[in-house]
């Protein structure tokens, strides 16, 4: 076994690898960009080395800087995590040339699976079923459009060099093919340095089922069962589970054999995942799945497989990389219970899942193990007080639950998501909780189109309850203390010689102004009048942000997090954000309304599709903004004429930057 390893990654995966290494007695080295100098993975490691400024091309993709850091600190091996350089065969060769061990598969195995077109041809020759499509070298748009027509729509355009939903477009109509191809090629070039794309027939009700494989240098190769990753948005996984619902022993055995066959065909070593598309229009069949790609690394969703097998996959990676044989045979492996993983992102589900930034002023998870087995496990890459950076993927944490069966595990997931309280940045936690409670998902009727079909309901917010602004106003006025507060002066709060004390508070919520009138009736008792009506409540207890209150004859608990100018209130599993308008400032503007297009998040300006003086129609795409490795289309807010374009392609802009102005009125 190694004495010291370097982790060539960041965020939760770096922290997760460090945790296992520490348990095994290995010293660890972290690397970091300037943006990550104070990050969690840096704090957890024994040593840390700066490798460059914030952009990934100048830091986490600098293989020579990472190798130099390993040599400088005396590390013997490099763990790549996932993403960045984890599937770069050139980096593997450089690591080995430097006399270091790469904790992953050989370069030739990565190379064999790195380009989807070549990988599919290899799998066909190995007898593994593949999805019909064009996997050749020609990149001429007209030729590719012809191949798509021959396959029959809908088709899927996929970057041959990547994964994670980047460089991927679903095209349902021939008229949309050219624009979709251009977008996929741009995203592929930006993410993987290779714009080439392939075309595949799109299975109309597909399920994404993947098989975890492990192989060692002694000729042993096994599969560790399947994961269902069908709950996706824009081809990115949202909630994963193991085992797959509706899986039979016969289909599991067939998929497992195909996955091990694929691994053996390329001389694989270490942890890998063979991904299949399965026909979800009916029960799973032995002849109803096709090879999609192989990820030659540890997957983001590996904890669900750890939960049902009781194994630590990072430990297995370390042991295999150090030359040990796998400690088990296929027949010794068994499935224990059911597990789910939900990916918690800093993103705004109500605004098309735009990435969000901000400082995490409050971060509270339910009691759980960190990077370890248990009924609840939280793999987080951030701490309270950390800044969500616009430079990297916006995933904050992975919420993993395990139970004896699917129904109990899924119920646990929904409850745990309700108990996650995060302030300072918008997250997708309520969307995840709604998804965990969706009747089709609960019934196991999953396919990759479920989220798109049910998106409106999954992102809908319940009406604002009148207790929420009332409690937020009390937090602003610092009146949430319980009646038994030991401070004698606080017991006089609101005292008057005659009548009831009255306060006026202005709040803003969802772009609307709420003017509240609070009357203090006695210790902890208030009435609040607002545009939502009048509500009476009594504060019973307030400890560590948890407010127990009585309203309408029912006791409930809320959590209030107040900071200058803002209050986040968590009530019944929903977060309500309020701001305190500055009376010296004017009104606010929407990001995408009126006479301007305003950047909804920090990002890089992509190709412009309009110019000053051009007439446009509402909803017409005008420019692209690249943020957190994804392209976001910004469209015309109304019919009219473009007055001026204030940015150029390649500009880095901040949240709230005015990008384009329209002529006023109906010009």
- Residues belonging to the active site: 297
| Closest listed residue to residue 69, CA positions, set 5, 2, 120 | 5
Cβ within 8 Å of residue 460, ≥6 positions away: none
- Cα-based distances in Å from 264 to 19, 116, 259, 453, 662: 30, 18, 9, 39, 59
Are residues 557 and 471 in contact, defined by beta-carbon separation less than 8 angstroms? no
Q: Using CA atoms, how far apart are residues 256 and 279, in angstroms rounded to an integer?
A: 17
Q: How many CB atoms lie within 10 A of CB 15?
A: 25
Provide the terminal-to-terminal Cα distance of the chain, rounded to the nearest Å. 72
Q: Using CA atoms, how far apart are residues 228 and 567, in angstroms rounded to an integer?
A: 38
Q: How many CB atoms lie within 10 A of CB 527?
A: 16
Residue 274 DSSP code: E
Q: Which helix (H) or strand (E) holds 171?
A: strand 168-171
Strand 77-79 to 4-7 pairing:
parallel
| Closest listed residue to residue 353, CA positions, set 459, 482, 448 | 459
Q: By CB neighbour count within 10 A (0-12 exposed, 13-18 middle, 19+ buried), where does 484 fall?
A: exposed
Are residues 595 and 662 in contact, defined by beta-carbon separation less than 8 angstroms? yes
- Nearest-10 Cα torsion for 608, 609, 611, 614: -160
- Nearest-10 Cα torsion for 612, 618, 621, 622: 20
| Closest listed residue to residue 339, CA positions, set 221, 224, 447 | 224
Cβ within 8 Å of residue 154, ≥6 positions away: 170, 171, 172, 202, 204
Sheet strands side by side (includes 652-653)? 630-635, 621-627, 603-608, 652-653
Are residues 535 and 470 in contact, defined by beta-carbon separation less than 8 angstroms? yes
Which residue(s) pair with 369 in the sheet?
A: 377
- 74 backbone dihedrals φ, ψ, rounded to 5°: 80, 20
């Amino acid at each position: 076994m190694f004495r010291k390893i370097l982790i060539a990654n960041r965020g939760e995966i770096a922290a997760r690898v460090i945790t296992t290494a520490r348990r095994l007695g290995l010293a660890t080295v972290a690397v970091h960009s300037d943006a990550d100098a104070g990050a969690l993975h840096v704090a957890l490691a024994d040593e840390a080395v700066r490798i460059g400024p914030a952009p990934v091309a100048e830091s986490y993709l600098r293989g020579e800087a990472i190798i130099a850091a390993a040599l400088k600190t005396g590390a013997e091996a490099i763990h790549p995590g996932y993403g960045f350089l984890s599937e770069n065969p050139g980096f593997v060769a450089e690591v080995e040339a430097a006399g270091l061990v790469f904790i992953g598969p050989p370069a030739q195995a990565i190379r064999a699976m790195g380009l989807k077109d070549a990988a599919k041809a290899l799998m066909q020759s190995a007898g593994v079923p593949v999805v019909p499509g064009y996997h050749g070298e020609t990149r001429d748009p007209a030729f590719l459009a012809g191949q798509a027509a021959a396959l029959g729509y809908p088709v899927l355009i996929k970057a041959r060099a990547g994964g994670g939903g980047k460089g991927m477009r679903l095209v349902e109509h021939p008229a949309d093919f050219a624009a979709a191809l251009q977008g996929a090629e741009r995203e592929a070039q930006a993410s993987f340095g290779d714009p080439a794309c392939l075309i595949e027939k799109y299975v109309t009700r597909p399920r994404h089922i993947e098989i975890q494989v492990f192989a060692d240098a002694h000729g042993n190769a096994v599969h560790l069962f399947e994961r269902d990753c069908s709950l996706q948005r824009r081809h990115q996984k949202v909630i994963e589970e193991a085992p797959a619902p509706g899986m039979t022993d016969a289909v599991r055995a067939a998929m497992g054999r195909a996955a091990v066959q694929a691994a053996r065909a390329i001389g694989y070593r270490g942890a890998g995942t063979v991904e299949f598309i399965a026909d979800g229009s009916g029960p799973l069949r032995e002849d109803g799945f096709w090879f999609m790609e192989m990820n030659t690394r540890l997957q983001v969703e590996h904890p669900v497989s750890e939960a049902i097998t009781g194994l630590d996959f990072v430990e297995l990676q370390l042991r295999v990389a150090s030359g040990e044989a796998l400690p088990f045979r296929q027949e010794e492996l068994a499935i224990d219970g059911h597990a789910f993983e939900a990916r918690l992102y800093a993103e705004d589900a109500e605004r098309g899942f735009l990435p969000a930034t901000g400082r995490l002023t409050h971060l509270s998870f339910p009691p759980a193990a960190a990077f370890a087995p248990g009924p609840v496990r939280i793999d987080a890459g951030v701490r309270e007080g950390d800044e969500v950076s616009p430079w990297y993927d916006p995933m904050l944490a992975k919420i993993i639950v395990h139970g004896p069966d699917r129904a109990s595990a899924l119920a646990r997931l929904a409850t745990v998501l309700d108990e996650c309280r995060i302030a300072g940045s918008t997250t997708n936690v309520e969307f995840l909780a709604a998804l965990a409670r969706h009747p089709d998902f609960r019934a196991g009727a999953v396919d990759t189109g479920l989220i798109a079909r049910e998106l409106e309901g999954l992102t809908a917010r319940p009406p604002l309850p009148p207790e929420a602004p009332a409690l937020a106003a009390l937090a602003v006025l610092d009146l949430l203390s319980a009646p038994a507060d030991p401070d004698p002066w606080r017991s006089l709060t609101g005292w008057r010689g005659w009548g009831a004390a009255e306060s006026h508070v202005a709040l803003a919520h969802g772009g609307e102004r709420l003017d509240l009138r609070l009357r203090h009736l006695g210790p902890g008792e208030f009435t609040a009048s607002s545009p939502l009506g009048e509500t009476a409540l009594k504060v019973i207890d307030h400890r560590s942000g948890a407010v127990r209150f009585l309203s309408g004859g029912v006791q409930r608990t809320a959590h209030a997090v107040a900071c200058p100018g803002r209050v986040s209130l968590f009530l019944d599993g929903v977060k309500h954000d309020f701001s305190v308008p500055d009376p010296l400032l004017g009104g606010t503007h929407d990001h995408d309304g009126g006479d301007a297009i305003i950047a909804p998040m920090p990002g890089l300006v992509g190709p412009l599709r309009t110019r000053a003086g051009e007439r446009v129609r509402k909803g017409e795409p005008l420019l692209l903004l690249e943020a957190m490795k994804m392209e976001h289309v910004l469209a015309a807010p109304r019919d009219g004429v473009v007055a001026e374009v204030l940015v150029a392609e390649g500009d880095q802009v901040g949240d709230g930057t005015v990008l384009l102005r329209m002529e006023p009125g109906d010009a």
